[in-house]
């Protein structure tokens, strides 16, 4: 629960170095009453100082990437993965590429540099912009993987950055045993004009020794001063806090001269300050220590205070508090055992038009023609982005409608907002309802009302109706039927790892999380349309995991091929590391006595609670391959994962 109501919006546009340090400082000491938002197109941001080392082969990619998803979790920021396209200061709106404008009270801009490729013949096809750095790093690794017999690399711009890049490129090619050409072009009369003459001579000698061809003539290039962004961060953080709280501002005074460390390709560097130049391996080691110290700020974050049981306390409270933190999404559902204990004693429906019981995916009501399907679902927020949560909550609620072969009809919203000031309350509710309306309308349904309240944290739910001539239920699977899954597994474990700010090298957790969100955001309506005419039984895979929901379908046994089950990127690696959703142990306990499985970490993902999970369908075996092909053609990561077999309800997992 937020201890103080949030009343103003601070938006950081761009995940540059200064904003990364501001967000880290904010996490250490947030300003009560302010909601922090970070906008960046990608879930990770590269650290400029280590790019030449990556190109030269001294660093791995993950060593120079700032994970903005982990950083946002630590700082309590709302992370929006999008590109800002404009700012309207009068309306106080930030325009974004892929979503509606975002309101703000105070904004800061740190988007870094994006190279503008010259208007030269062939530039669009053959040139790669060095900024943004993330895209350049990926293209460089792809270039190396091509293993050209005689690669030719031309670098435009002989400032410090271009020179470092040229030397790193030459070193990497030489280390790989590849003969090639590296050419450095600049429009100026002299390279590195901001470098002392003695340092320039040393670097030029290194270029010559590395067989880098330097061609000059024209105007001077822009000097490199990225170090200022890092050193300005404490002043920026102070001034943002002061602007929001009414305190005095501070002026940033950059140094008239600063230490320049220029890497020379191999593990050697030039150091220059006050006209003094030194070079050698020890200065590369100095640069390496400085760079790693910066990146370490975004490694293990300071531990949050743990909730401890008071003394004295009721027996068992301490053990309960030591359990995994409660997950969001379907990870916050009650366990299967608790639900069974509550639902099993309920009497069967007394009204003749009610065709289902409380254990079904949705209620089925008989109409004069066909049936109406009715379901409700809500999600405890696992993201600080209410628009994202609204979309996912809507898709999650629609899952039951699609699983029963119904056409979505109308939706009622149930929204619990955290404590907010009137302006932020209006903004948040408007974002939620606008995104919900767009998501349901895309599925063919209308939002016709709902209920709102104020509570401890953001929770969004929807009650949805749909219509069908004949619903697809959980019963009907026969021995010999094939089992099709339309989405990969892993949302529960990935959301849990993100909430815990898990370090998962060599995985970049931010990229894993972003890929997970992209999977969760895919509607299943088109998948249902393909499967419904042929499915003998179908359900959506949500809180109980694949194994739990499959056992609900079965009156006989089934076999699953573990290698055939699609997994989200990073899910298997996180399982290997011992990560798990808070609901997974309860799911495992509910099915373990009816499941035979190999000793494999991936088995835990069969009981991973899914939010916005895929459809699980039992279909005639002879149709399975064709249906999977249709699903893939429609953009779904579908797979044939097993079959229904003879015997008592039991799952056999094969490796």
**Percent composition of the chain: helix, strand, coil (DSSP 3-state, to 5):** 40, 25, 40
Per-residue pLDDT at 648 exceeds 70 = yes
More confident residue, 331 or 415: 415
- Domain with residue 374: its CATH number is 3.30.1330.10
Q: Do 498 and 646 fall within a single domain? A: yes
Instruction: Examine residue 341 and state whether it is found in any structural domain, yes or no.
Output: no
pTM of the predicted protein model: 0.88
Confidence of residue 218 (pLDDT cuts 50, 70, 90): very low
For residue 539, tell me if it sits in a domain.
Answer: yes
Is residue 440 domain-resident?
Answer: yes
For 382-401, b/e burial (b = at least 16 CB within 10 A) is bbbbbbbbbbbbbbbbbbbb
Dump the DSSP string for 451-493: EEEE-SS-EEEEEEEEEESS---S----TT-EEEE-S-B-HHH
Reading the block at residue 403, the tokens are 């699983």
User: Residue 609's pLDDT is what?
Assistant: 96
Strands (E), 189-244: 212-215
Which residue range is the domain that position 237 belongs to? 8-114+225-250
Residue 107, beta-bridge partner list: 11
CA–CA gap between residue 115 and residue 457 (Å, rounded): 42
| Alpha carbon distance 283, 53 (integer Å) | 14
Contact 295, 50 (CB under 8 A): yes
Pairing state between β 407-417 and 446-454: parallel
- Reply yes or no: is the peptide bond before residue 132 cis, omega within 30 of 0: yes
Closest-CA residue to 437 (of 448, 427, 426): 448
Active site residues: 330
Per-residue pLDDT averaged across 555-560, rounded? 96
Find the range with the poorest average confidence among 99-108, 109-118, 147-156.
109-118
Distance CA 549, CA 537 (A): 12
Q: pLDDT > 70: what percent of the chain? A: 92
Same domain for 233 and 287, yes or no, is: no
DSSP β-bridge partners for residue 38: 12, 79
- Tell me: do 559 and 510 sit in the same domain: yes
**Residue predicted with more confidence, 289 or 252:** 289
Pairing, β 651-654 against β 8-13: unpaired
In a domain, 135, yes or no: no
Same domain? For 556 and 620 the reply is yes
Give backbone dihedrals phi and psi of 580, rounded to 5 degrees, phi first.
-165, 150
Residue with tokens 């300005």: 232
In the 8-state DSSP scheme, what is residue 315? T
pLDDT of residue 359: 67
Say if residue 529 is in the same domain as residue 589: yes
Same domain, 282 and 156: yes
Q: What is the CATH number of the domain that holds 102?
A: 3.50.50.60
Q: Is 486 left (phi over 0), alpha (psi -120 to 50) or beta?
A: alpha
**Angle at 492 (CA atoms; ends 419, 413), nearest 5 degrees:** 45
Mean pLDDT of 184-201: 83
Distance separating alpha carbons of residues 552 and 556, to the nearest angstrom: 11
């Amino acid at each position: 629960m937020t201890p103080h109501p949030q009343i103003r919006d601070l938006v950081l546009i761009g995940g540059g170095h200064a904003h990364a340090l501001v967000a880290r400082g904010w996490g250490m000491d947030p300003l009560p009453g302010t909601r922090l938002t970070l906008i960046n197109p990608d879930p990770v941001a590269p650290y400029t100082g280590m790019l030449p080392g990556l190109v030269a082969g001294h660093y791995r990619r993950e060593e120079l990437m700032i994970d903005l998803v982990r950083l946002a979790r630590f700082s309590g920021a709302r992370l929006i993965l999008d590109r800002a396209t404009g700012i309207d200061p009068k309306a106080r709106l930030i325009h974004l590429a892929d979503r509606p404008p975002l309101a703000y009270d105070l904004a800061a801009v740190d988007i870094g540099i994006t190279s503008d490729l010259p208007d030269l013949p062939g530039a669009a096809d053959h040139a790669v912009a060095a900024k943004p750095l993330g895209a350049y790093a990926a293209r460089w690794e792809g270039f190396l993987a091509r293993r050209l017999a005689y690669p030719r690399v031309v670098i435009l711009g002989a400032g410090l950055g271009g020179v470092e890049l040229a030397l790193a490129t030459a070193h990497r090619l030489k280390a790989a045993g590849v003969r090639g050409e590296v050419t450095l072009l600049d429009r100026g009369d002299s390279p590195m004009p901001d470098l002392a003459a003695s340092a320039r001579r040393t670097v030029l000698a290194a270029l010559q020794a590395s067989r880098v061809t330097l061609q000059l003539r024209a105007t001077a290039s822009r000097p490199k001063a990225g170090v200022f962004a890092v050193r300005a961060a404490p002043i920026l953080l102070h001034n943002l806090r002061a602007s929001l709280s009414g305190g005095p501002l501070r002026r940033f005074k950059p140094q008239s001269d600063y230490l320049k460390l220029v890497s020379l390709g191999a593990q050697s560097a030039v150091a220059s300050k006050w006209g003094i130049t030194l070079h050698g391996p020890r200065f590369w080691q100095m640069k390496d220590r400085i760079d790693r110290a910066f990146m370490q700020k975004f490694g293990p974050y300071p531990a949050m205070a743990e909730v401890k049981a008071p003394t004295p306390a009721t027996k068992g409270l301490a053990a309960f508090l030591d359990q995994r933190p409660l997950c969001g999404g379907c990870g916050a559902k009650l366990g299967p055992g608790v639900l069974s204990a509550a639902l099993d004693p309920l009497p069967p429906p007394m009204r003749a038009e009610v065709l289902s019981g409380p254990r079904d995916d949705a209620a089925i009501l008989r109409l004069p023609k066909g049936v109406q399907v009715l379901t409700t679902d809500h999600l405890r927020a696992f993201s600080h982005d209410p628009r994202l949560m609204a979309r996912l909550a809507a898709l999650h609620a629609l899952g039951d409608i699609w699983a029963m072969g119904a056409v979505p009809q109308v939706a009622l919203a149930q929204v619990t907002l955290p404590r907010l000031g009137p302006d932020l309350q209006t903004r948040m509710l408007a974002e939620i309802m606008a995104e919900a309306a767009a998501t349901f309308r895309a599925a063919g349904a209308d939002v016709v009302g709902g209920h709102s309240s104020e509570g401890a944290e953001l929770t969004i739910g929807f009650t949805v109706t749909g219509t069908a001539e004949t619903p697809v239920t959980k019963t009907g699977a026969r021995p010999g039927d094939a089992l099709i899954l339309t989405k990969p597994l892993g949302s529960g474990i990935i959301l849990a790892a993100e909430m815990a700010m898990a370090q998962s090298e060599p995985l970049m957790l931010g990229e894993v999380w972003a890929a997970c969100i992209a999977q969760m955001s895919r509607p299943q309506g088109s998948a249902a349309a393909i499967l419904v005419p042929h499915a003998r039984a179908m359900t959506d895979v949500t809180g109980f995991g694949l194994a739990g929901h499959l056992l609900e379908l079965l009156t006989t046994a089934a076999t699953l091929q573990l290698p055939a089950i699609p997994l989200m990127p990073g899910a298997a690696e996180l399982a290997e590391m011992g990560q798990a959703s808070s609901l997974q142990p309860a799911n495992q306990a509910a099915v373990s006595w009816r499941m035979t499985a190999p000793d494999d970490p991936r088995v835990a993902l069969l009981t991973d609670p899914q939010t916005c999970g895929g459809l699980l369908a039992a279909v005639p075996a002879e149709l399975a391959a064709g249906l999977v092909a249709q699903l893939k053609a429609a953009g779904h990561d579908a797979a044939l994962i097993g079959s229904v077999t003879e015997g008592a309800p039991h799952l056999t997992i094969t490796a």
